[in-house]
Amino acid sequence: MKNIFLVFKREYLVRVRKKSFILMTLLTPLLIAAFYGIMVWAAIGSFENELKSIQVIDKSGLFKTKFKNDDNTVFDFKDEPVATAQKKLKDQEDKLLVLIPADILQQPGGLQIYSDKSVSPLVKGRIERIVQQEIRNIKLTKAGITQAVIEDANQNVDAQTFNLDDEGKSQSSSTMAAYIAGYAAAFLLYIFILVYGAGVMQSVMEEKSSRIIEVIISSVKPFHLMLGKILGVAAVGLTQFLLWAVLTFGITTATQTLFGFNRFTAAQEVVDKQTQNADPELKKEMEKQQTGMVKQMNESMQSLQSLPLTQILLCFLFYFFGGYLLYSSLYAAIGASVENQQEAGQFMFPIMMPIIAAIFFAQLSINQPDGSLAFWTSMIPFTSPIVMMARIPFGVPGWEIALSMALLVLGFVGTTWLAARIYRVGILMYGKKVNYKELGKWIFYKG
């Protein structure tokens, strides 16, 4: 136990003192804050376009009052031949020509837009919505149906969800909040296992190639060395994640204070900016759709408190360590078996496949958390850490969680024993190309 702690301490201190660790720990929160700020700035700034002139030739005579000017767009109705208008349009990047044919009611696909360059999807969509809405109103009016009747019939249904406890009492819940929490937890485990598991392999390869391992192995058993290295890298990962969380929150809070930027209302500010310049007939519809999305997101964030956060946190820590220890032991065995990154490639693929499959199964399990696929993939040790964390926010029976944890422990013990058998031989093996048959022999070597 003492030797494991010494290896753990050495691995941890060597890594956290590296310039690359310090640099990435400090830069990552800055990059996250900058990336988020740039996205919001770009989203708001994208609606502050230069004044665009749109010429309209309406041969149907139905849309004279339907195209409304706003801060960024001016509609100019023309009564001239199309060929003449097209010639005038040449080399004028800020102008468009819209041709509405006389039979637009019978042939809605006859709407045409001309431009010197490609038409913006936003502008194209806006013109299409105006024409579509008016065609719809005209046909409904002819059928004796008024717009008021349509608006009254078009009601949004937003069901409230509740969870029942053992005593039959109900508690408010949120499907979207469970979805966000489950996917976030599963994705974090997926990233951590991939990144830091590969870090264990790289560390073992570096010590083997530099022959430092020959000195270390003279005073430490191979199993103790492998386990200490795995735990040391895990501690480094936890330290980095904790620092990232604290620094990211601190930097975004400071940015909000300095620049008057509110990260909690940014989405609503984008919506307000997008709708303020829309023409009156579309503004109401856009506000209704987009404000509904923002409202749903805000309600989901507030509903996180209805989730079993303590259970999620404790299970996350268990599956975090269990999944990492299971895979990192295999990564350590690969690192001890090869001498360079190229040789490691052939052995990494079989290990990465279950991890990649697990994040795919997690996405399916979120949609059907009680299905057979979700149950079995949350029991198999190679996929259970990621899949089970995706299911837990939706509510999983205690016996399923206990069985999954027990199987994960057994899986970790088995992979660690297997990896240790390979590690003890491969760590001192040089100049020999290794294949799966050779690894099988190492497992059964005596001594």
Kindly report, residue by residue over 240-274, the tens digit of the pLDDT: 878 887 887 787 777 666 655 555 555 555 555 55
pLDDT the model gives residue 405: 93
DSSP state of 400: H
292 falls within a domain: yes
Let me know whether 74 and 204 are in one domain. no
Let me know whether 97 and 222 are in one domain. no
Model pLDDT for residues 187-207, shown as the tens digit of each residue:
888 888 888 888 888 877 877
220 falls within a domain: yes
276: pLDDT strictly greater than 60: no
pLDDT the model gives residue 41: 67
Let me know whether 29 and 90 are in one domain. no
Model pLDDT for residues 427-445, shown as the tens digit of each residue:
777 767 777 787 778 777 7
366 falls within a domain: yes
First and final CA of the chain: distance in angstroms?
Answer: 21
Higher-pLDDT residue of 103 and 122 is 103
CA 408 vs. chain centroid, Å, equals 26
CA torsion sign for 171, 174, 175, 177 is negative
Distances (CA, A) of 351 to 61, 330, 415: 67, 8, 12
Angle at the Cα of 113 (from 107 to 115), degrees rounded to 5?
Answer: 165
What's the total number of domains in the chain? 2
44 falls within a domain: no
> Which of 6-10, 115-119, 422-426 has the highest average model confidence (pLDDT)?
6-10
Higher-pLDDT residue of 218 and 163 is 218
pLDDT the model gives residue 306: 65
Segment 55-65 mean pLDDT: 79
Let me know whether 206 and 59 are in one domain. no
List the domain range (segments joined by +) for residue 180: 2-39+174-443
Diameter over CA atoms, the chain: 96
Let me know whether 216 and 362 are in one domain. yes
254 falls within a domain: yes
Let me know whether 341 and 206 are in one domain. yes
Let me know whether 192 and 325 are in one domain. yes
Let me know whether 98 and 138 are in one domain. yes
6: pLDDT strictly greater than 70: yes
pLDDT the model gives residue 59: 81
Instruction: With beta carbons less than 8 A apart as the criterion, state whether 315 and 188 touch.
Output: no
209 falls within a domain: yes
- In this structure, of 160-164, 246-250, 372-376, the range with the lowest mean pLDDT score is 160-164
Lookup: tokens for 258: 């300095």
What burial class does residue 83 get, using C-beta atoms within 10 Å of its C-beta: 0-12 exposed, 13-18 middle, 19+ buried? exposed
pLDDT the model gives residue 309: 77
303 falls within a domain: yes
Q: Around Cβ 229, how many Cβ atoms within 10 Å?
A: 25
Query: Where residue 114 sits, what CATH number does that domain have?
Result: 3.40.190.10
Assign 170 a pLDDT band (cuts: 50, 70, 90). very low
- In this structure, of 103-117, 228-242, 273-287, the range with the lowest mean pLDDT score is 273-287
Q: Around Cβ 118, how many Cβ atoms within 10 Å?
A: 7
Q: In what order do the strands lie in the sheet with 73-77?
A: 73-77, 52-58, 95-100, 112-115
172: pLDDT strictly greater than 50: no
What burial class does residue 232 get, using C-beta atoms within 10 Å of its C-beta: 0-12 exposed, 13-18 middle, 19+ buried? buried
Let me know whether 337 and 193 are in one domain. yes
Let me know whether 362 and 218 are in one domain. yes
Let me know whether 351 and 202 are in one domain. yes
Q: Which amino acid is at 339?
A: E
Give the span between the Cα atoms of 205 and 198, in whole angstroms. Answer: 11
Let me know whether 227 and 256 are in one domain. yes
Instruction: With beta carbons less than 8 A apart as the criterion, state whether 379 and 404 touch.
Output: yes
Segment 275-294 mean pLDDT: 54
- In this structure, of 194-198, 226-230, 250-254, 414-418, the range with the lowest mean pLDDT score is 250-254
Higher-pLDDT residue of 104 and 166 is 104
List, in sequence order, the alpha helices (H) in 17-81.
19-45
157 falls within a domain: no
